[in-house]
Structure 1
């Protein structure tokens, strides 16, 4: 939902700083719905059924709804647990005079209930935006493979192979509070793999840096630290920061607006491994952040397509929004040298990565450009398409173009229930059906989830 405001009223009553509320149902976006005097309040850090005291964080007098954080639990849900991260614990953070950091907004909820809430959100979005009655169970992903590691499906910790930090004016890494420019310093990242925490960025003076991006591949290959300098930062200062990082870590600078990367030390890319293939992923290029996500998603996509008879040796398929070629490689394996794979990616850097990663597969054609333009230029009789768009989804124009291409099936991978459900509605308007659906908890302790769907023509 998008906040809407009205013209301020001179007689509107001022919002109180705190309220006692009964927490209602979960809603898309990481919050639950509560009501006060007829006004909707989106509450974060609560659980449906609880009675809580909240602090209003966004409560304009004329706003159609308010936002709030839980600061005290008066009647707790049996699914409430102690938060694993102090700076993300809403009640504790506010008691220390600052809001909680974002990125772990479900950390106070048992993992079983987290997945149930995510299932409810997905079902509600599908029903409301597409008229589809589905209640898919969100599946747990991963398990402990390393003795002594924090990574375990029972804890939901230690799964992020990528992390982003803002930098305080004092040169310390931190994270933003929800919907805020305020940066809260951090001294750990419990959701991240050991390779990120071992860098101990919080012990480094990062003055002169605005943002830090870290990638630590789960295969143990060389990590990469990307530094976004504040304008005017001198090369000598950048070298001093790089010198504080372990020698086996690559370091580079990057420009967030253009993704331009310049080497300081080591490589400007990382080596990832998934589904039997190695992938080079450059700088700020896209890669799934959960250590088990690439294999999980490839498995779900290929299973849908192969079980339906849409993917086999000799098939003609396409991987749209292909990134570095994660799905492209698996599709190439499945169609063999008698088939063909069209791999389309808009970002030049990721497209170059895909060319390097798939250079040994003659059945693959890599094209850099917008999906809608490439499909117009290269019409084919596709057996199947794989669609993995950004969070905003494909959109009506692209959906109509995909339908016009006439594939026998489409596997749709999505990280946002709202844009996914909207697009499913567009497919249904064109006479297509949602034939298969799986949902995965690839972002434990957050409200996010990933879905893989099979769409086929004909009702």
Structure 2
């Protein structure tokens, strides 16, 4: 789209890009590492305030630059950080969380992004994959595009190895092909959601409890994620027997099950009716309601002791946060997959009298810019 420009790459930004400047204009650059000098091509100049770009040639590489384990890294839209050592990936993610907390919530806090135990290479972890089938070819979507990038020999490097040996067996029709790996099983769903292999309902085990989940429903994609997040929530809340607890955006009841096992009286709320039906089977000791949080109204108690909040990537939003702050909870655990949304909601909580006491960040999405956080909030004294 433009001639190449030689730039020094600045700090990492939310979304996995380095910030650079060309003729005074901010350019968000892919495939770089802060501090590198590189030749950059502008790929999108449609915005008046900032552009997008990509590294074409590294002139002065960072000592943390490595050879990507996948030959299509940088072409497909999935892995932003395969060119970065795992240790530096986690430092970059920590910097993003710190910057978002400072800029959007006025919170200054040192953050460490923790490795999931046993995940030493950052590969072979993604248990839910969505492939694109087109004209008999199978691949992944390109970044910010619906273009097909064909899979390399050996397949996607972050996909869980228990997937199908030959995806070509399922390439008869165009569209999305979803592969779901659960505890010891593999399910393949075709473009119309039809089950091509396995079962529509899969089983996941966490802390000795069994959870039924739709193969196309929500569940954490790293095999260690559900356990790590549950332990972080319980450690932060320190639930006591007979306490009242809310599991909001509860999905199939992951945190509800853990809180019930600690002796709490739990109510779960989730917009997906199919997820709620499974939650009722997974955690029969709890009460569940299918409704959007913005319309929960009478489903929420007047008071509660504990809240677990696990909203979608966009966050809970000011309306929901203000309503929750009225419940007089002694502790709130906020599970967040987007640091900007988390920071915005923490700012609202602060205005409503809740302070951030603890924060853990986990590398549940190695080789990508994504990071998961668990924030623990308590009411101001």
TM-score of the two chains, using structure 2 as the length reference: 0.96
Mapped pair 1:178 → 2:143: yes
Structure 1 runs not aligned, ≥5 long: 1-14, 91-99, 144-152, 230-253, 255-261
Is the CA contact (8 Å cut-off) linking 1:123 and 1:133 kept in structure 2? yes
Do the aligned partners of residues 417 and 265 (structure 1) sit closer, same or farther apart at CA in structure 2, a change above 3 Å counting? Answer: closer
1:319 maps to what in 2? 247
Find the aligned partners of 1:63 and 1:102 in 2 and give their Cα distance: 24
The 5-angstrom pairing of residues 9-408 of structure 1 reads 16-60=2-46, 63-88=48-73, 90=74, 100-143=75-118, 153-168=119-134, 170-187=135-152, 188-196=155-163, 198-201=164-167, 203-204=168-169, 206-217=171-182, 219-220=183-184, 222-229=185-192, 254=193, 262-263=194-195, 266-306=198-238, 311-335=239-263, 339-359=264-284, 361=285, 364-408=286-330
Is the CA contact (8 Å cut-off) linking 1:209 and 1:227 kept in structure 2? no
Secondary structure of the residue that 2:232 maps to in structure 1? helix
Secondary structure of the residue that 2:54 maps to in structure 1? strand
Find the aligned partners of 1:376 and 1:334 in 2 and give their Cα distance: 26
Is the CA contact (8 Å cut-off) linking 1:372 and 1:401 kept in structure 2? no
Find the aligned partners of 2:126 and 2:18 in 1 and give their Cα distance: 25
Tell me how far 1:204 sits from its aligned partner.
3.0
Tell me how far 1:266 sits from its aligned partner.
4.8
Find the aligned partners of 1:348 and 1:319 in 2 and give their Cα distance: 15
Do the aligned partners of residues 264 and 226 (structure 1) sit closer, same or farther apart at CA in structure 2, a change above 3 Å counting? Answer: closer
2:379 maps to what in 1? 457
Tell me how far 1:373 sits from its aligned partner.
2.9
Structure 2 runs not aligned, ≥5 long: none
Q: Deviations over 1:211-251 (max 9, x none)?
A: 0111111x31x21111114xxxxxxxxxxxxxxxxxxxxxx
Q: Which has the higher contact order (CA 8 A, sep 6+)?
A: 2
Q: Deviations over 1:382-409 (max 9, x none)?
A: 1100000000000000000000122111
Do the aligned partners of residues 378 and 67 (structure 1) sit closer, same or farther apart at CA in structure 2, a change above 3 Å counting? Answer: closer
Tell me how far 1:171 sits from its aligned partner.
2.0
Is the CA contact (8 Å cut-off) linking 1:123 and 1:136 kept in structure 2? yes
Q: Deviations over 1:46-73 (max 9, x none)?
A: 000101112222123x632111111211
Secondary structure of the residue that 1:331 maps to in structure 2? helix
Find the aligned partners of 1:264 and 1:138 in 2 and give their Cα distance: 38
Find the aligned partners of 1:85 and 1:264 in 2 and give their Cα distance: 27
Find the aligned partners of 2:197 and 2:9 in 1 and give their Cα distance: 51
Is the CA contact (8 Å cut-off) linking 2:9 and 2:33 kept in structure 1? yes
Q: Deviations over 1:393-444 (max 9, x none)?
A: 0000000000012211110000000000000000011121001111001111
Secondary structure of the residue that 2:21 maps to in structure 1? strand
Structure 1 residue ranges (4+ consecutive) displaced by more than 6 angstroms after TM superposition: none
Do the aligned partners of residues 105 and 430 (structure 1) sit closer, same or farther apart at CA in structure 2, a change above 3 Å counting? Answer: same
Tell me how far 1:282 sits from its aligned partner.
1.0
Secondary structure of the residue that 1:223 maps to in structure 2? strand
Is the CA contact (8 Å cut-off) linking 1:171 and 1:205 kept in structure 2? no
Secondary structure of the residue that 1:445 maps to in structure 2? coil
Tell me how far 1:124 sits from its aligned partner.
0.4
Tell me how far 1:375 sits from its aligned partner.
4.5
Is the CA contact (8 Å cut-off) linking 2:307 and 2:329 kept in structure 1? yes
Secondary structure of the residue that 2:62 maps to in structure 1? coil
Tell me how far 1:16 sits from its aligned partner.
2.4
Q: Deviations over 1:283-309 (max 9, x none)?
A: 321000001000000000000111xxx
CA RMSD of aligned residues (A): 1.5
- Report the structure number with the largest CA radius of gyration: 1
Find the aligned partners of 2:298 and 2:271 in 1 and give their Cα distance: 15
Secondary structure of the residue that 1:270 maps to in structure 2? strand
Secondary structure of the residue that 2:191 maps to in structure 1? strand
Secondary structure of the residue that 2:32 maps to in structure 1? coil
Secondary structure of the residue that 1:34 maps to in structure 2? strand
Is the CA contact (8 Å cut-off) linking 1:322 and 1:343 kept in structure 2? yes
Q: Deviations over 1:341-385 (max 9, x none)?
A: 0011110111111111113x2xx1111111243343342421100
